[in-house]
Amino acid sequence: MEKIRIIQADKYVGKKVKIGAWIANKRSSGKIAFLNLRDGSAFFQGVVVKSEVSEEVFQTAKNLNQETSVWITGTVQEDTRSKFGYEIHVEDIDIIGESHDYPITPKEHGTEFLMDNRHLWLRSSKQHAIMQVRNEIIRATYEYFNKEGFVKIDPPILTGSAAENTTELFHTEYFDRDAFLSQSGQLYLEAAAMALGKVFSFGPTFRAEKSKTRRHLIEFWMMEPEMAFMKQDESLEIQEEYVAYLIQNVLDNCDAALDTLNRDKELLKQYTQLPYPRISYDDAVELLQKNDFDVKWGDDFGSPEETFIAQQYDKPVFILNYPKAIKPFYMKPHPDRDDVVLCADMIAPEGYGEIIGGSEREEDYDALREQILAFDLDIKEYEWYLELRKYGSVPHSGFGLGLERAVTWISGTEHIRESIPFPRLLNRIYP
């Protein structure tokens, strides 16, 4: 008799197997008990028929509590009524660990309660499905960038300087000096791209976001590719191809999870059709003004503006060439005009906001130096970064995709807090 996981059930129809599982739910009558079993790989039904098992086994089944862990022995059978397609006819049950008064019952619970119990909430079918989508996005990311010849490199998490907006920096002590938690690995990635050509990193980043939104985490994971010998136009093509690849792989490999999440698969399919539309920042401002938004040229867009622009299209949209003043110092100005930079944000449909931010980088030594000074940054901290422009500088571009933003959007989840196992939020660092 083989020990299997639920996900393998299709290969064991008619066979006697052993499965380690938890009781997700249970209902029973005088003659039959239905166990909703989960083993981490999937959920499926165990059927205990009174007339087929000993009295002791039937009583054990009837008395099982939610989340008690058990060894189940039985025969796998097809079950055409369930979406999963299989069930197990139970012959024996061995209790491994008892569970009493499990706090998360099948009834509705408030968000704060669920967040306090995040360590248990993760066991629910919805959270299980979201984590499967997250895992698939990570897997497909590695596959995509490996296939395209990128090398994964790991920029440091402790840094001596700020790559982005200094107001969102986490400060820490570094022996007798200051250090900051990484907000983006980009500057280091540029150095790595000069060594390896095409690189990507995938790691945690930290931002002391002072506002509560459904899109911002304090600690989030970012995919950051950086490419030497590459202009912004080419980078946009990689971005859309990569995002379409993620969606296609989730469609191909997470069918059950998408069903659990009630995600509209036809809509997701639509997002795999390339190219994605592009609109300039200038045109976006004009469109917003025509529709009574209170924005003027030079303002950054917030969630209502991004959502409105995204609503004009049936796919993600790129907003190109933002004003230089609202973007980081390293972005390259547009060749025809100095007030905008060669950058783009990819905005997801359905109100999920910015998924990717990217740009072509300033490759000229003097221009970059001027920018560092203009942004009032400590030039000493950027000496190494400037030197990249001194020894064979080349055009190069890159972008960052927020993992949890992608997970939230693709899984159709309402709030980003459910897209990471243990979210860090403005008012929460427990559990």
Query: Which of 18-26, 62-70, 331-339, 355-363 is the region at the interface with Mg ion (rule: CB under 5 A)?
Result: 355-363
CB closer to ligand ATP, 23 vs 372: 372
**Residue found by looking up tokens 């008799």 in the block:** 1
Calculate Rg over the CA atoms of the chain. 26
Among 76, 88, 187, 217, binds ligand ATP (CB under 6 A): 217
**Residue found by looking up tokens 């790691």 in the block:** 203
What tokens were used for 220?
């989030």
How many residues make contact with ligand ATP (CB under 6 A)?
A: 18
Binding mask of the shown chain, residues 334 to 363, with x at each position contacting ligand ATP by CB under 6 A: -------------------xxxxx------
The letter for the amino acid at 314 is: D
**Smallest distance, Å, CB 307 to ligand ATP?**
12
CB closer to Mg ion, 87 vs 354: 354
Verify binding: residue 357, Mg ion, rule CB under 5 A: yes
Among 67, 190, 362, 404, binds ligand ATP (CB under 6 A): 404
The letter for the amino acid at 402 is: G
**Smallest distance, Å, CB 184 to Mg ion?**
10
Query: Which of 190-198, 250-258, 310-318, 399-407 is the region at the interface with ligand ATP (rule: CB under 6 A)?
Result: 399-407
| Among Mg ion, ligand ATP, none, residue 217 binds (CB under 5-8 Å by kind) | ligand ATP
- Name which of 252, 240, 250, 247 is nearest 270 in CA terms: 247
**Smallest distance, Å, CB 425 to Mg ion?**
15
Q: Which of residues 270-289 bind Mg ion (CB under 5 A)?
A: none
**Smallest distance, Å, CB 165 to Mg ion?**
7
- Name which of 68, 131, 150, 138 is nearest 102 in CA terms: 68
**Smallest distance, Å, CB 168 to Mg ion?**
7
Among 319, 400, 407, 418, binds ligand ATP (CB under 6 A): 400
Binding mask of the shown chain, residues 135 to 164, with x at each position contacting ligand ATP by CB under 6 A: -----------------------------x
Q: In angstroms, rounded to a whole number, what is the distance separating the alpha carbons of residues 397 and 386? A: 16
Among 118, 128, 198, 216, binds ligand ATP (CB under 6 A): 216
What tokens were used for 429?
């660092």
Among 50, 128, 263, 405, binds ligand ATP (CB under 6 A): 405
Contact (Cβ atoms closer than 8 angstroms) between residue 123 and residue 38: yes
Question: What angle (nearest 5°) sits at the alpha carbon of residue 319, between those of residues 314 and 322?
Answer: 165
- Give residues with Cβ within 8 angstroms of 146, minimum separation 6: none
Q: Residue with the closest Cβ to Mg ion?
A: 357
Q: In angstroms, rounded to a whole number, what is the distance separating the alpha carbons of residues 263 and 105? A: 24
- Give residues with Cβ within 8 angstroms of 353, minimum separation 6: 215, 303, 306, 307, 347, 405
**Residue found by looking up tokens 């993600």 in the block:** 316
CB closer to Mg ion, 194 vs 344: 344
Containing 391, the helix (H) or strand (E) segment is none
Q: Helix %, strand %, coil % for the chain, to 5?
A: 35, 30, 35
CB closer to ligand ATP, 61 vs 401: 401
- Name which of 269, 385, 277 is nearest 330 in CA terms: 385
CB closer to Mg ion, 6 vs 227: 227
Cis bond upstream, residue 225 (ω within 30): no
| Among Mg ion, ligand ATP, none, residue 164 binds (CB under 5-8 Å by kind) | ligand ATP
Binding residues for Mg ion, rule: CB under 5 A, are 354, 357
